Amino acid sequence: MRLRAEATDPASVEANVLAVPIYKEDEPFGEDLANLDATAGGVIRQAIDFGRFNILEDYFALIDGGDLPVEHILIVNGIRRGRGPWRARRMAGVATRALQGKGAARMALWLRDGEDADGFAAAAVGAVAGTYRPMDLYGRTRDTDAMKRIVEEVVLLGADQAELDRASIMADGVAWCRDLSNRASNDLYPEKMAEEVRALEADGCTVEVLHVPEMRQLGMNALLGVGQGAEHPPVLIAVKLPGWAAGGDRKLAIVGKGVCFDSGGISLKPADKMDEMKHDKSGAAAVLSAARTLARLNPNAPVMAVAPMVENMPGGRAQRPGDVVKAMNGKTIEITNTDAEGRLILADALHWAETQGATHLVDVATLTGVAAMAFGELVSAYFAKPGDWGDQVKAAADATGEWLWEMPLATEYRTQLDTPYADIVNSGSRDGSLIKSAVFIHEFVTRPWVHLDVAGTAWMAADKATFPKGAVGVAMTTLVRLGLDFAAGEQVA
């Protein structure tokens, strides 16, 4: 999709559709909206008064363009959470998604708020994301040509074209991230993911793949134990940007949980919604896509993406509850629940990243169901040590329109993970389990570190006005912005 910047007045822009946000505070209409509505012949007010759009109930309403040169006006709910990138991104995504299958080739978006560069960039990413069709991944044959129509060009009124060009690269990265997460487990398994990532060498990246013998020699038994019951062996993928080698004493490693399918292993999950467990590689998809995007925006960023890739399957060779493994850092782990596998692969991957010279770490994982229950589909939980490193990660999320919320790293719970048989158990009691999962991972890092639990935000279980069913591409833009800030030498904890 093309992104274009224009300084045109919204009342005179030429497009099939003009998307106009309505905010909660627009009662009565502000001067800007009142002037546009007057030029249009009052069609926006008429639609609201008639009940075609209610800000408390509707995400959008498509109405006639009235006296404007556009064919239609798309009234878009301005989303209640504050001004800025988060609202701009979601609003733009709702707008282009609403027009799927409608034959509107060119949409103009008027943000009204006089957004800054971050706001316009977030809107651009959201607009492209709204055209994403997961059904195109495998070529669903029942779709007609009309159903496949999407917005081909978005005009952002008041934006800067250079910024939109960069945002287009970011948006392409989000789409690739969603594709990786959405791909079926029989199509994208650990070795296949490694093959896909080899393409990043064309962007100047160094791609290193560790197979079972190399990981065994390094002592990555926590990671290997998770994958030992699967037909497809585990791999660890590392993508180093050209700037990694020159990073000196400041190097950022982004580590993503890559479980290509998570049956739960011997601690088998319920059958209901187990098909969604192909998305348990969303963390890996995020970090690999971020590396790809950073290589195109600033290859000098001192960043490495690490993706431990496994399948967690039951079977005669599978890891069992009660087994004890020794992680790469030498600590022993008693396996009390084979469905608490993500923290095991992260333990070895994070430690390995430190041995490669990482001075700062961020991991992204669809780790705990309780994160989804606590925060739902909008907010990702994060833990940080030290806090100012967490503040920088959150600032990167805010700038790109993603919503993070800090949780306490209550290391006081560490004693509840004690066991007579090893240094630590991989799963404690359910109470406080969101925090305890982070406390577990904390045992395997020694550098500034942030843990993002995206179990609730990585994919949609059903179609929504904001996203179709499937992967969202969560955390990818946060990681890219963090990498750009890191490369720019902005304050680092």
Residue 464 a catalytic site member: no
Strands 380-385, 360-365: pairing is unpaired
Integer angstrom CA distances of residue 478 from 145, 180, 281, 393 = 35, 18, 17, 7
Max CA pair span of the chain: 77
Report yes or no: 444 and 344 within 8 Å, Cβ to Cβ.
no
Residues 6+ positions from 106 with CB-CB distance below 8 Å: 14, 15, 16, 17, 151, 152, 153, 154, 155
What DSSP element (H or E) covers 237?
A: strand 235-240
User: What secondary structure letter does DSSP report for 194?
Assistant: H
**Residue 149 burial (CB count, 10 A):** 16
Among candidate residues 52, 83, 149, 269, the one labeled active-site is: 269
Alpha helices by DSSP H, listed for 361-475, are: 369-375, 387-400, 433-442
Question: Distance from CA of residue 97 to its chain's centroid?
Answer: 18
Instruction: Give yes or no: 269 in active site.
Output: yes
Of 332, 315, 344, 68, nearest in space to 222 by CA: 344
Catalytic residue among 87, 251, 292, 343: 343
Contacts of 49 (CB under 8 A, 6+ apart): none
Place of tokens 């190097």: 251
List of residues 6+ apart from 334 with CB closer than 8 A:
322, 323, 324, 419, 421, 422, 424, 425, 426
Residues annotated as catalytic (active site), given as ranges: 269, 343
